[in-house]
Amino acid sequence: MVKQILPAVAVIFFLSSCSTFKPLNFTSNKQVATAKTPTPKTKFIEEISVVPQTDVDNTNNKEEYKPSSKLSAASRKKSMDAVTVPDRLDEIKLYERMFSSIAAEVESASAVQLKYAVLMNTEVESLPSKSLLEAVDEWYGVRYRTGGNTTSGVDCSGFTVGVYAALYGMSIPRVSRDQYRVSTKLSTTELAPGDLVFFNTTGRGVSHVGIYLGHNKFIHASVSKGVMVNDLFENYYLKRYIGGGRIENKEEITQQGTH
């Protein structure tokens, strides 16, 4: 009987000893866990306490800087406006005078003057005389015809003969080479509106003639397009240009023709 009781007592004692140790171990584990927890919390609180101070300082610095920069920008703009406004007013007045002058010229210009200002790519005030423009314009666009001397068809020398007769009241030779022969020879820089310009288009000497208008432009009876305006420095004409010629006393003849 005693032998049966002793093992039971031993088991009970062992179980009771384990139950006493387990709470102690669990409690000690809990204490260790709670002991570790305050350290990160304290560290987190310290970090938070530092960040707000930095934010407050940065915000204060920005608020102090922005007003000063805005004020300086406004003052710069004000000083710029004070300088540029009078300049702009002066420019506007200058443009107004220029446009008024141009408008007056355009209003007083005739249709033929406006036409040749475009053809010659120049201003109205720098055009040749209105009488010269009107004389050549009678032939403008007339088709080319060899030996022709009317507005139904005209060749280069027939055109110059017709213009000189109408404008200056004078008769000049019918053929271009003879016109060159009787004229006073001129360099390009000596040319004046109304002078003749001569070309070698056939390779056999003077074979073409036109009337100088100014600004390196001349009017002539072109074989391909009839009476038209061209530039002396166009490649085709520059290569074939011989020189200029002036029929003397044509102004005096013009005056006599007006009586």
Average pLDDT, stretch 120-130? Answer: 96
Q: At what angle do helices 156-168 and 250-258 cross, to 10 degrees?
A: 50
Residue 209 in any domain: the answer is yes
Whole-model pTM: value is 0.59
Q: Compute φ and ψ for 215, nearest 5 degrees.
A: 55, 35
Residue 18 in any domain: the answer is no
> Which residues belong to the active site?
156, 208, 220
Taking 60 as the threshold, does the pLDDT of residue 54 lie above it? no
Report the domain count for the chain.
Answer: 1
Average pLDDT, the chain: 77
Residue 253's pLDDT band (cuts 50, 70, 90)? very low
Pairing of strands 241-246, 208-214: unpaired
Residue 21 in any domain: the answer is no
Lowest mean pLDDT: which of 76-90, 98-112, 153-167, 242-256?
76-90
Query: Which residues lie across from 214 on neighbouring strands?
Result: 217
Taking 80 as the threshold, does the pLDDT of residue 252 lie above it? no
Residue 176 in any domain: the answer is yes
Residue 247 in any domain: the answer is yes
Looking at per-residue pLDDT, the higher value among 162 and 254 belongs to: 162
Domain extent, residue 226, equals 128-258
Range with the largest mean pLDDT of 16-30, 53-67, 197-211: 197-211
Average pLDDT, stretch 138-142? Answer: 98
Position 49 scores a pLDDT of 47
Residue 24's pLDDT band (cuts 50, 70, 90)? very low
Give the whole-angstrom CA distance, residue 173 versus residue 161. Answer: 7
Taking 70 as the threshold, does the pLDDT of residue 236 lie above it? yes
- CATH classification at residue 183: 3.90.1720.10
Position 29 scores a pLDDT of 46
Residue 13's pLDDT band (cuts 50, 70, 90)? low
Q: Could you tell me which residues come within 8 angstroms of residue 180 by beta carbon, excluding any fewer than 6 positions away?
A: 196, 198, 206, 209, 242, 245
Average pLDDT, stretch 189-212? Answer: 98
Closest CA to 194 of 170, 169, 175, 168: 168
Closest CA to 191 of 128, 255, 234: 128
Residue 49 in any domain: the answer is no
Average pLDDT, stretch 27-44? Answer: 48
